[in-house]
C-alpha cells in the first residue's frame, strides 16, 4: 500500500505510474504478439479478421475498465479517509454487479456476432473467421472484468506492482501458447482467440488469490457481500459515466473501421497494425492519468487539498516527457513496426500505408498525452460527467471527420481526424480545469 497524502508528488506519481505503464505495455504486448503471430503464420486474412473483431471486443473491455476506474476513484477516497469497511464494501458491490452484467454481455456477443459483422460490411472472404474469433473472445469478458475490478482495488491503495507481475506472467503464457498452437501446430485463428481468453482467466485467478491471501485489509468479508443500494448508486454515479466514456471510443472505432473496410483488405490489415502502434503510444499515457486520479482522490478523501494542484502539474510534466519518448520512437521505427505484422504477398502495400499514417501520429501523440492528464484531474475530483462529455466531443468529432476525409485522403485521414478530436477536447477541458480549481478553492 502507498499513502499518497504525504510525501513529494513527483516521487509518488512516478512510483505509482511506472508499474502501471509497464503493465499496460505488457498487456498490449501480448495483444500485439497475438496479432503478429496471426499475421505471420495464418496470413493477411487472419490479420484483417483480428483487426475487425478487435474494436468490437474493445467496446466491452473498455466499458468494463470504465466501471472499474470509477469504482477505483471511490476506493481511493475511502483509503485516503482510512475507511477500510467502506473500501471493502465498494469492491464487493462492484464485483457482484459487474460480473453478472459481463456474463450477460458474453452470451449476447456470441449470439449477435454475425449481425454485428454484417453491419460493419466485413468482406466476404474474411467474414467466417472474423465471426469465429469474435465469438471466442467474448467468452473472456467475465474474466477481464474480475481482473480489472480486483486490480482497481489494489491500485486504489497504491499497489501498482502486483498487477504488473500478473500481466507479465500472462503475457509470457499467451506468447508461448500462441507459438505452440499457431506457429508449430498450425491450429488456426480459433486457437489465437482461445489462448487470449485463457491468459485473461489466469490473470483473474492470480489477482483473486493475491487478494484472499495477501491483502486482508482490502479483501471483502462475508458481511460485505450484500448489495447496498446507496453504495451501488454511488458506484454507478462514478463508474457509469466513465464506462460510457470508455465505451464511446470503441464505438467510434467500429464506425471508423466501417469506413476503412471500404478501402480494401490491404488498408484493413494496415489499420490493424497501426492501431496496435496507437495503443502502445496512447494507452500507457493513461497510466500516468490513473496515477494522477489516485493521487488526487486520496488527497481529496484525506482533506489535503493543498497537495492537489502541485501534484497535477507534476503529472502533466510526466505526460509531456512520455510523449517525447514515444513520439521519437514512432517516427524512427514506423516502417519496422508495421513490418512486424505482415509478410509475403501484399506486404509492401500494407507497410507503405501504415508507415505514412504513423509519420503523422508521431507528432499528434502530444495531444492524447495532454488530454489524459487533464482527464486524470477531473476523475480524481469526482467530476465524471466532465470527462464523459469531453470524450464524447472528441470521439464524435473524430468519427465525423473520418467519414468526410477517408474517401478523399485514405488511411491518413484517420490521423488528421484523431488530431482534430483531441484539439476540440482540450479546448473544452482546459478552461474548465481553471474554473474548477478556482471554484473548489484549490491552493496553488
* SS3 assignment for 105-170: HHHHHHHCHHHHHHHCCCCHHHHHHHHHHHHHHHCCHHHHHHHHHHHHHHHHCCCCHHHHHHHHHH
Write down the number of H helices and E strands in the chain: 16, 0
Phi, psi of 371 (to 5 degrees): -65, -35
Q: Which of 194, 254, 248, 263 is nearest to 408 (CA)?
A: 263
User: What would the DSSP string read from start to end of 313-373?
Assistant: HHHHHHHHHHHHHHHHHHHHHHHHHHHTT--STTHHHHHHHHHHHHHHHHHHTHHHHHHHH
Average pLDDT over residues 425-435: 92
Residue with cell 498487456: 27
pLDDT (mean) for 26-31:
70
| pLDDT per residue as tens digits for the range 37-93 | 766 666 667 667 776 777 677 777 777 877 888 888 888 888 888 888 888 888 889
Average pLDDT, the chain: 82
Checking if the pLDDT of 427 tops 70, the result is: yes
What's the mean pLDDT in 268-280? 79
Query: What confidence tier does 18 reach under pLDDT thresholds 50, 70, 90?
Result: confident
Among the residue ranges 35-49, 168-182, 225-239, 424-438, the one predicted with the least confidence is 35-49
Task: Convert the pLDDT of each residue in 163-211 to its tens digit.
Answer: 878 878 877 887 787 777 766 666 666 677 787 788 888 888 888 888 8
Q: What is the SS3 assignment for 407?
A: helix
| DSSP, residue by residue, 59-96 | HHHHHHHHHHHHHHHHHHHHHHTT-HHHHHHHHHHHHH
Provide the grid cell at 236.
Answer: 454507478
DSSP for 189-222 reads HHHHHHHHHHHHHHHHHHHHHHHHHH-TTTS--G
pLDDT at residue 42, as a whole number: 64
Per-position b or e across 10-31, b if 16+ CB within 10 A of its CB: eebbbbbbbbbbbbbbbbbbbb
The residue whose grid cell reads 498490449 is 28
Residues 266-291, mean pLDDT to the nearest whole number: 80
Evaluate if residue 437 carries a pLDDT over 90. no
The pLDDT of residue 65 is 78
CB neighbours of 224 closer than 8 A, spacing ≥ 6?
85, 88, 89, 91, 92
User: Is residue 62 a contact partner of residue 70, using CB atoms and an 8 Å limit?
Assistant: no
How much is the pLDDT for 344? Answer: 64
**Grid coordinates belonging to 128:** 467466417
Are 102 and 141 a contacting pair, CB within 8 Å?
yes
- d(C-alpha 227, C-alpha 65), whole Å: 21
Give the whole-angstrom CA distance, residue 277 versus residue 308: 33
Q: Which pLDDT score is estimated for 314?
A: 92
Q: What's the rounded Cα separation, in Å, for the pair 287 and 197?
A: 23
Q: Give the separation between CA 175 and CA 118, rounded to whole angstroms.
A: 31
Taking Cα atoms as reference points, which of 380, 258, 367, 379 lies closest to residue 319?
367
Would you place residue 345 in the very low, low, confident or very high pLDDT band (cuts 50, 70, 90)? Answer: low
Q: What is the mean pLDDT of residues 388-412?
A: 89
pTM across the whole model: 0.76
Q: At what angle do helices 265-282 and 44-80 cross, to 10 degrees?
A: 20
Amino acid at each position: 500500500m502507498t499513502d499518497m497524502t504525504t510525501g513529494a508528488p513527483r516521487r509518488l506519481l512516478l512510483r505509482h505510474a511506472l508499474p502501471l505503464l509497464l503493465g499496460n505495455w505488457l498487456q498490449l504486448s501480448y495483444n500485439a504478439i497475438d496479432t503478429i503471430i496471426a499475421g505471420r503464420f495464418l496470413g493477411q486474412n487472419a490479420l484483417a479478421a483480428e483487426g475487425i473483431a478487435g474494436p468490437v471486443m474493445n467496446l466491452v473491455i473498455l466499458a468494463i475498465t470504465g466501471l472499474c476506474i470509477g469504482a477505483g476513484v471511490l476506493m481511493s477516497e475511502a483509503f485516503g479517509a482510512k475507511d477500510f469497511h467502506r473500501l471493502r464494501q465498494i469492491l464487493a458491490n462492484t464485483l457482484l454487479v459487474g460480473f453478472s452484467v459481463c456474463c450477460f454481455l458474453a452470451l449476447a456477443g456470441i449470439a449477435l456476432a454475425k449481425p454485428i459483422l454484417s453491419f460493419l460490411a466485413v468482406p466476404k472472404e474474411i467474414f467466417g473467421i472474423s465471426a469465429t474469433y469474435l465469438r471466442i473472445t467474448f467468452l473472456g469478458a467475465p474474466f477481464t472484468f474480475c481482473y480489472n475490478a480486483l486490480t482497481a482495488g489494489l491500485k486504489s491503495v497504491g499497489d501498482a506492482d502486483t498487477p504488473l507481475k500478473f500481466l507479465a506472467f500472462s503475457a509470457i503464457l499467451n506468447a508461448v501458447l500462441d507459438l505452440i498452437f499457431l506457429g508449430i501446430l498450425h491450429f488456426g485463428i480459433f486457437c489465437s482467440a482461445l489462448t487470449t481468453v485463457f491468459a485473461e482467466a489466469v490473470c483473474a485467478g492470480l489477482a483473486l488469490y493475491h487478494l484472499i491471501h495477501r491483502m486482508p485489509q482490502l479483501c471483502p468479508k462475508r458481511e460485505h457481500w450484500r448489495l447496498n443500494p446507496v453504495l451501488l448508486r454511488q458506484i454507478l454515479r462514478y463508474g457509469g459515466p466513465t464506462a460510457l466514456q470508455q465505451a464511446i471510443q470503441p464505438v467510434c472505432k467500429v464506425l471508423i473501421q466501417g469506413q476503412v473496410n471500404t478501402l480494401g483488405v490491404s488498408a484493413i490489415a494496415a489499420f490493424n497494425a497501426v492501431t496496435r502502434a496507437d495503443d502502445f503510444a496512447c494507452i500507457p499515457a493513461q497510466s500516468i492519468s490513473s496515477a494522477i486520479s489516485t493521487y488526487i482522490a486520496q488527497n481529496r478523501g484525506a482533506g489535503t487539498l493543498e497537495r492537489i494542484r502541485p501534484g497535477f502539474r507534476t503529472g502533466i510534466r510526466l505526460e509531456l516527457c512520455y510523449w517525447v519518448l514515444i513520439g521519437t520512437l514512432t517516427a524512427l521505427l514506423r516502417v519496422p513496426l508495421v513490418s512486424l505484422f505482415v509478410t509475403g504477398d501484399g506486404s509492401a502495400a500494407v507497410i507503405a500505408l501504415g508507415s505514412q499514417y504513423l509519420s503523422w501520429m508521431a507528432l499528434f501523440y502530444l495531444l492524447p498525452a495532454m488530454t489524459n492528464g487533464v482527464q486524470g484531474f477531473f476523475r480524481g475530483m469526482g467530476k465524471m460527467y466532465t470527462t464523459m462529455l469531453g470524450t464524447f466531443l472528441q470521439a464524435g468529432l473524430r468519427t465525423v471527420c473520418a467519414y468526410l476525409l477517408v474517401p478523399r485522403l485514405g488511411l491518413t485521414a484517420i490521423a488528421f481526424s484523431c488530431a482534430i478530436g483531441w484539439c476540440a477536447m482540450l479546448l473544452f477541458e482546459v478552461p474548465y480545469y481553471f474554473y474548477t480549481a478556482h471554484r473548489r478553492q484549490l491552493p496553488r
